[in-house]
A and B are shown apart, each in its own frame.
Chain A
Amino acid sequence: MSQVGGLPIRVKQSRKVDPRLVRLFGWLVLGALLRLMTVTTEGTSTNHLLVVDAAFKSTKLIGWLVAGFIMWVLTELWRARKIGALVTSRTTGVRRQWRTVADRALSRRAALLAVVVAAIVLPQFLSEFYQRVLVDQVAVFVLLAVGLNVVVGWAGLLDLGYVAFFAIGAYTCAYFTGALPVAPPFTLNPFVILPVAVVVCLVAGLLLGAPTLRLRGDYLAIVTLGFHEIVQLFLVNKNNWTGGNQGVSKPVPHFSINLFGIHYKWTLASLPYWYLFIGMLAIVVFLFSRLEHSKVGRSWTAVREDEVAAAANGVPTVKYKLMAFAIGASTSGLAGVLYASRLGYINPASFPVVLSISVLSYVIFGGMGSIIGVIAGSALLTFLPAVFQEQNIVRQEDIPMWIGAILVTMMLVRPQGLIPSRRRRRELRLASEGVADADAMSEAPEGRGTG
């Protein structure tokens, strides 16, 4: 007890526990937790604690605890020897050289060329399973993520209804190929539908965006979530138009070319579709990377960083937000057409809201605002589960958990993402220093007129 200004204040003398022991405890708990989560036993109606029994009364627990202990030893060594700092200081020169090489336009082009060649050549040596994964998962989600990056990464708008536009694109494709119960005035080749779907989604994006983009951050997220729900309920309930839960009534035809003497039909084979997808992706990425370093991209950054200042300097903020929203939506629609035609069958359940959240997490994982990062992140996170599955590294049911663990670890260790954009890295650093807001999404407006 001590007296401060006449008031008795109790100063709590806590016994100090060695922080290393606390960390050891943390690792052991994590090990035990992972054991609990990966245990195969299921509880019965009479004995709910069977899982706990099976998890902890078995020798396998020891393996997890030992693994936790080893991790603790390693991290403590890392800490004690200051290996992190050591590595940083030792590699400064190398990294600086790497920077200058990486910044050179020639080396950038070479890297790009290498990636493109790899994307063309490598899939041919993969098994049919991996080829299918590449098309159905990797290609689709990379395209979606690149589009969402425009909305979230560049314009700073949190869009949780992104997959609704994916569904709109897919159903547009189904409609114009005559796959829906309601007959179209004319049927089109999927190639022709691509621009049609882009326009449809553009309009849908504008329709949703126009009344809602005055909202900020959390509110916008909720509205877009609602929009997704509306679209999905429409697809489910408007039976005579969409086929309801059963999905399309006839298969959506594949892509085909019949022009200038070139005849080609895409089939169930994965590889041709892969090339179609990366062709589209190349076009989209090319256009978007130009957009990023143009007036439009800079204006988006301005709106994201400080909307009030942007408007005061003549940037029409609502217009640019709407633009980002519409461009993102149309990319999603593009992916929808490709997806519908590739699979041939779609139903409302193909577009759950969790897909939007997955795409968002890929964007954040890869590095918001950086096209390369977003591509790498979404490719990795969609390819990895397939590898887990095929190689039997972890159990099938545990795959989402491991992906979740990767996401959590990544956000703790490297919040800026896999390959962050330089701007984004700076923004995060400024935010951690309390100078600026990292996303400018949650910032309150500087007061609207009380009209």
Chain B
Amino acid sequence: MSATTAAEQVPRHAGASPLLAVHDVTLRFGGLTSLDHVDLTVERGAILAVIGPNGAGKTSLFNCLTGVYTPQEGTIELTTDGATTQLVTGSARRRRSRKPHVVNRIGVARTFQNIRLFAALSAFDNVKIAAETRGRTGPIGAMLRLPNARANDASSDALTEELLDFVALRPMADEVASSLSYGVQRRLEIARALATLPRLLLLDEPAAGTNPTEKLELERLIRRINAERGVTVLLIEHDMRLVMSVADEVTVLNFGKVIARGRPAEVQRDPAVVQAYLGTANDE
């Protein structure tokens, strides 16, 4: 740990507990330690970036947060509306993560490194499926078209349209997801994640495979998600220019360990980071 200095300066909502508190999380696969006593605090309203070389454990961290993996040690707490939820429960010997859909319901949405849209469905349906999970329509209600089911359907339609507008995909609403271009698919995946009305949005390499224009759009989009929709953003990204311009704070992982955290500019100058990551990245 070398650049821990900035962590104390950043908190903006002093007193309130942070939105997400990852404490001492360790994840092992057999002999391989993917995450090694990782601490991470995400304050409400911030845009945070997690960077690190390939295999540093960034996506593993996301998978721990969303209930795909269960870390062997440590706690993950999410505080929304004054209520704190433990994302990893159980005793020290039998630990469990909350199921991915439960984590999503609590307020964490994510996108995937390799885009995972429902490829054969239209852009509209992709978003609508996520929007609908907030309603409480059951099979009976759906079969009989009870008033409740119809109201849910209408409100999901409205939310879907609003979000497609938000990511400027309204004209492509009826196109099949797989026929959209890569950058557009990325935006669609973000819209789908937003449709579950999250407090925290996890973006896994949103700029991968996009061209420079799309990167600029993405940068604006992330800022708008943060500012207009009030969603806290945690992103994994390799594109340093994007990270430097958009993130309030950067955490650097290497071999599962947090080696630095702080403001982007400070992290960039940190010798440990330069050695582990930026040195090689700048050469590219």
Contact = CB atoms under 8 A, between A and B. Distances in A.
Given A291-B139, A295-B142, A296-B139, A449 B68 contact: yes
A308 B117 CA distance: 10
Contact of A423 (B120, B130, B152, B196): B120
Nearest to A445: B68
A315 B28 contact: no
Interface stretch (B76-84, B101-109, B165-173, B246-254): B101-109
Nearest to A302: B129
A312 B105 CA distance: 9
A262 interface: no
Interface in A392-451: 423, 426-427, 430, 435-436, 446-451
B120 A315 contact: no
A6 interface: no
B97 A314 contact: no
Given A430-B178, A451-B95, A313 B130 contact: yes
Nearest to B88: A449
A312 B178 contact: no
Nearest to B128: A298
B137 A296 contact: yes
Contacts of B110: 312
A433 to B, nearest CB: 9
Contacts of B66: 312
Given A295-B142, A423-B120, A447-B69, A313 B192 contact: yes
Given A295-B132, A426-B176, A290 B143 contact: yes
B97 A449 contact: yes
Contacts of B139: 291, 296, 323, 327
Interface in B71-128: 71-72, 94-97, 99-101, 104-105, 109-110, 112, 116-121, 125, 128
Given A301-B118, A427-B120, A449-B70, A312 B129 contact: no
B116 A308 contact: yes
A298 to B, nearest CB: 5
A435 B71 CA distance: 32
For the residues of A in contact with B, the DSSP-based class is helix
A306 interface: yes
Nearest to A304: B118
Majority secondary structure of chain B interface residues (helix, strand, loop or mixed): mixed
A335 B277 CA distance: 64
A354 B195 CA distance: 45
A312 B109 contact: yes
Contacts of A316: 99, 101
B229 interface: no
Interface in B217-260: none
Contact of B135 (A290, A295, A308): A295
B176 A313 contact: no
B145 interface: yes
A299 B132 contact: yes
15 contacts: A288-B143, A295-B149, A295-B156, A296-B139, A298-B121, A298-B129, A299-B132, A301-B125, A311-B104, A312-B66, A313-B104, A313-B192, A314-B104, A323-B139, A430-B120
Given A308-B116, A313-B133, 6 more contacts: A287-B144, A295-B135, A298-B121, A430-B178, A448-B68, A451-B96
Q: 10 nearest interchain CB pairs?
A: A449-B70, A314-B133, A294-B142, A311-B100, A309-B116, A314-B104, A426-B120, A313-B130, A436-B119, A287-B143
